[in-house]
Structures are given as C-alpha cells and as structure tokens.
C-alpha cells in the first residue's frame, strides 16, 4: 500500500559537529544519538580512519576529498522507503553541484557514467518505540579525488564531482535535499527512484542466484526475473555482484 507521508519539519545542520579527523562520522553520530543529541544533528569530517561501508566493507576517502556526512533522523517514524529516498537526495545535491546525471544502483549507491559517486550507510534503532527511534544517515560523496591516491581495486570504478566543488555548499545542498525528500510522498519517491534506476533491464548476479532486473516494487524490493518467475529481493538479503552487464 502506498502511504502519504506527513509533512516533516526536520532541519538538518543544527547542531553541526565537524572533525578534522575521526574514526567514522556514523560512529560519532550514533554515539551522540545515544547520549541524547537532537534530530537534525549533522556530523562531518575531513577524513576518517575507520570509514565504514555497507556489509562490513571499509569506505575509502582521501583527506579533504569527499563530503563525509552523517545526519541524525530523530524520531525515525515509519519510513520503509528511507533507503530509497536518501540516494535521491544525494542525486539532487550532486546534480546541483556539477553538470552530471546521476543514477541509482539499488538499493542506494549513486553512480555517474557507470562509476560510483556516493554510498549510503543507514544505521540506528528502528526497532525501539517509534517515538524514541532514530537513524543515522551516513553518506560518502566523492567531491574531488584527483589529488588523492586511489587504491588499485577502486581504480576506474569511482567517480567524483570535479575540481572546484565547495565543501560548505555541498553540505548545504545535501541538507536541503534530504529535508525535501523526507517530506515527499511514497509515490513520488518510487516514481523518481524508477526514473533513476541503473539496474533495470540488466543481468545481475547475487549471492544465491542470477537474473534480469525488472525494477522495484512499492516496498522498495528489487524485482528480478529468473527464468520462469519474478522474485523480490530485500536489501538485507542480497549482495549484488559488482559487475554490471548488458544494457
Ligand atoms: C557503501 O556504499 O558501502 C556505503 C558507504 C558509506 C560511507 C559513509 S562516509 C560517511 C559515513 N561514515 C561512515 O563510516 N560511513 C558513511
């Protein structure tokens, strides 16, 4: 069922804590959330020594090269499409900052020109009492990687916005875009995600099977045609292979 999201009044960026170097902005934001920080808190860093990605991976970002961002959404409320709306916000912010067209590799990687521009890691306490629940929205957005040594395994697989991207402006754009998408209806989120879907029509492999991507259902699951049936995959259940084949 498609719900109509109540308008939200959340504003991101107040308070704002910036660290020159930290372990992980998500870790800092979670710690602050656990010690009573208000919704709207944003934590940023110039560099992370233990930046984390999805599925236990690490997140590479050379010092000063990226917007390393974690925002506290509190209370979380009932937001099953949060993992889809966050990359939509990143796309809007990135397209305002540079002349790029962003696509989303389900569930929430942002890609330009077949390379990854940004990643999203959402963590929190979704199972607690809804009134007391929260989520940390972690985003790593590559601004300018041209002067940092890119690890061999990422060479040719990462994108960045360009040379003259202002970090403060990027932060501002991301805060505003997130606020805007958090106020959007489910139908708008689904429509825009489908417009930006990188995988649709492509052949995929994941831990447990292979098939052809057929878009997303109204709950945000990935639909995959596997021979004689179409199955719905949840983001927590599968890890897609890095290779993208087909058109
Ligand atoms: C992924 O694509 O695997 C998700 C990457 C998320 C990286 C960001 S950088 C800011 C925040 N702090 C972290 O430790 N991780 C997220």
Chain Cα centroid distance, residue 63: 20
**Distance separating alpha carbons of residues 127 and 8, to the nearest angstrom:** 21
**Distance separating alpha carbons of residues 231 and 88, to the nearest angstrom:** 24
Residue pair 172/72 in contact (Cβ under 8 Å)? The answer is no
Q: Which residues have a Cβ under 8 Å from the Cβ of 33 and sit 6 or more positions away?
A: 41, 72, 74, 124, 125, 134, 136
| Residue 26 CA to ligand 1 centre (angstroms) | 8
Query: Would you state the pLDDT for residue 118?
Result: 97
**Atom of ligand 1 at shortest range from CA of 52:** 14
Give the strands of the sheet with 42-48, arranged side by side. 16-22, 42-48, 66-73, 135-142, 115-124, 109-112, 103-105
52 lines ligand 1 (CB under 6 A): yes
CA-based nearest residue to 205, from 156, 238, 157? 238
Residue having the nearest C-alpha atom to atom 7 of ligand 1: 140
48 lines ligand 1 (CB under 6 A): yes
Query: Would you state the pLDDT for residue 3?
Result: 52
**Atom of ligand 1 at shortest range from CA of 48:** 14
Query: Would you state the pLDDT for residue 246?
Result: 31
192 lines ligand 1 (CB under 6 A): no
Give the mean model confidence (pLDDT) for residues 125-148.
Answer: 86
CA-based nearest residue to 53, from 116, 146, 144? 116
Lowest mean pLDDT among 105-114, 166-175, 206-215: 206-215
120 lines ligand 1 (CB under 6 A): yes
| Residue 50 CA to ligand 1 centre (angstroms) | 10
Query: Would you state the pLDDT for residue 215?
Result: 97
| Residue 1 CA to ligand 1 centre (angstroms) | 31
Longest dimension (CA), the chain: 53
pLDDT in tens, 141-157: 999 998 888 888 888 89
116 lines ligand 1 (CB under 6 A): no
- How is the chain split into domains, by residue range? 16-196, 203-241
Residue pair 198/104 in contact (Cβ under 8 Å)? The answer is yes
| Residue 4 CA to ligand 1 centre (angstroms) | 29
Please list, residue by residue across 111-122, b when 16 or more beta carbons sit within 10 angstroms of its beta carbon and e when fewer do: bbeeebbbbbbb
Cα-based distances in Å from 188 to 3, 192, 198, 247: 11, 6, 18, 26
Query: Would you state the pLDDT for residue 12?
Result: 98
**Atom of ligand 1 at shortest range from CA of 54:** 3
What is the pLDDT of the chain when averaged over all its residues?
Answer: 90
Position 243 confidence tier, pLDDT thresholds 50, 70, 90: very low
Position 237 confidence tier, pLDDT thresholds 50, 70, 90: low
**Atom of ligand 1 at shortest range from CA of 68:** 10
pLDDT in tens, 185-212: 999 999 999 999 999 999 998 887 899 9
Residue having the nearest C-alpha atom to atom 15 of ligand 1: 52
Lowest mean pLDDT among 98-102, 109-113, 126-130, 225-229: 126-130
60 lines ligand 1 (CB under 6 A): no
Cα-based distances in Å from 136 to 1, 27, 95, 139, 148: 26, 9, 23, 10, 27
**Tokens 């990359």 map to which residue?**
87
Query: Would you state the pLDDT for residue 235?
Result: 81
- The residue ranking higher by pLDDT, 93 or 130, is 93
Give the mean model confidence (pLDDT) for residues 221-232.
Answer: 94
> Pairing state of beta strands 16-22 and 42-48?
parallel
Q: Is the pLDDT of residue 8 over 90?
A: no
Tell me the whole-structure pTM to 2 decimals.
0.93
Position 129 confidence tier, pLDDT thresholds 50, 70, 90: confident
Query: Would you state the pLDDT for residue 242?
Result: 44
pLDDT above 70 coverage of the chain, percent = 91
User: Which residues pair with residue 103 across a beta bridge?
Assistant: 111
Give the mean model confidence (pLDDT) for residues 74-102.
Answer: 94
Q: Is the pLDDT of residue 32 over 90?
A: yes
45 lines ligand 1 (CB under 6 A): no
Q: Is the peptide bond before 166 cis (omega within 30 degrees of 0)?
A: no
Please list, residue by residue across 79-89, b when 16 or more beta carbons sit within 10 angstroms of its beta carbon and e when fewer do: bebbbbbbbbb
The CATH class given to the 16-196 domain equals alpha beta
Query: Would you state the pLDDT for residue 244?
Result: 47
22 lines ligand 1 (CB under 6 A): no
């Amino acid at each position: 069922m498609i719900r109509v999201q109540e308008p939200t009044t959340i504003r991101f960026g107040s308070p704002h804590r910036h660290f020159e170097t930290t372990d992980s902005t998500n870790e800092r934001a979670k710690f602050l959330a656990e010690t009573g920080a208000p919704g709207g808190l944003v934590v940023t860093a110039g560099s992370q020594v233990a930046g984390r990605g999805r599925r236990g991976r690490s997140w590479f970002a050379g010092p000063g090269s990226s917007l390393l961002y974690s925002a506290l959404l509190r209370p979380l409320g009932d937001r099953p499409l949060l993992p889809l709306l966050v990359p939509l916000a990143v796309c809007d912010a990135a397209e305002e900052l540079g002349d790029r067209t962003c696509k989303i590799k389900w569930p929430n990687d942002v890609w330009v020109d077949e390379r990854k521009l940004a990643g999203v890691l959402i963590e929190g306490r979704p199972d607690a009492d809804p009134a007391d629940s929260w989520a940390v929205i972690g985003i790593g957005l590559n601004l300018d990687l041209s002067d940092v040594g890119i690890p061999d395994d990422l060479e040719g697989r990462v994108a960045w916005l360009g040379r003259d991207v202002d970090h403060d402006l990027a932060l501002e754009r991301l805060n505003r875009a997130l606020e805007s998408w958090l106020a959007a209806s489910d139908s708008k989120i689904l429509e825009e995600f489908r417009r930006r879907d990188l995988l649709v029509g492509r052949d995929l492999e994941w831990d447990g099977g292979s098939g052809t991507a057929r878009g997303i259902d109204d709950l945000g699951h990935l639909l995959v045609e596997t021979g004689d049936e179409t199955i719905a995959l949840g983001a927590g259940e599968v890890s897609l292979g890095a290779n993208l084949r087909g058109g």
